[in-house]
């Protein structure tokens, strides 16, 4: 009987120990399931946050691309307007240059004509002065000759007297 008692006690004890171990394992499994559920919840929250962050990043990139495209379009428009203004300015300068070249050609032609007129006038004056000088020289020579003749005549008369 004692053996039976011991056997029952041992079986009970074994059963109790097994039950305690089973309860411990069950409690540990329950804690691990709770921790797993918490970690899965955290993982889902983090995955959702990552997905939201990726979507925000994608939206921001799209928005920045649009802004960049608008900036590039505005810069291209500004550059085209500046090029247009510069080309118009260059055209105006070229037209002014052509006009100034025409005016210069006219002034040069008028200056050349005036120079030729002045050269002709100077030549005419020189010719006139030369003729006048010859006439005056001839007149002076004749007057000198007349004076000399008068002087000779007077000297001759004085000598004769």
Query: Over the stretch 70-114, which tens digit does the pLDDT of each residue have?
Result: 999 999 999 999 999 999 999 999 999 999 999 999 999 999 999
Dist. CA 148–CA 144, nearest whole Å: 6
pTM of the model: 0.46
Dist. CA 14–CA 126, nearest whole Å: 158
pLDDT at 8 over 70: no
Tell me the DSSP string of 69-114.
Answer: HHHHHHHHHHHHHHHHHHHHHHHHHHHHHHHHHHHHHHHHHHHHHH
Q: What is the DSSP letter of 161?
A: -
Q: Which pLDDT score is estimated for 155?
A: 87
Q: Which pLDDT score is estimated for 70?
A: 95
State whether residue 1 is helix, strand or coil.
Answer: coil
* Tokens linked to 73: 């379009």
């Amino acid at each position: 009987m004692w053996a039976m008692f011991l056997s029952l006690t041992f079986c009970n004890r074994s059963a109790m120990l097994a039950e305690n171990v089973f309860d411990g394992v069950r409690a540990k499994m329950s804690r691990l399931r709770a921790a797993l559920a918490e970690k899965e919840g955290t993982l889902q929250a983090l995955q959702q946050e990552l997905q939201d962050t990726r979507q925000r990043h994608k939206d921001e990139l799209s928005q920045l691309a649009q802004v960049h495209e608008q900036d590039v379009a505005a810069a291209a428009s500004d550059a085209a307007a500046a090029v247009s203004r510069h080309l118009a300015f260059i055209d105006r300068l070229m037209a002014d240059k052509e006009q100034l070249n025409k005016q210069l050609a006219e002034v040069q032609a008028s200056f050349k004509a005036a120079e030729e007129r002045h050269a002709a006038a100077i030549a005419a004056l020189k010719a006139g002065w030369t003729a006048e000088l010859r006439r005056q020289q001839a007149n002076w020579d004749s007057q000198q000759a007349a004076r000399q003749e008068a002087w000779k005549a007077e000297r001759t008369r004085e000598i004769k007297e």
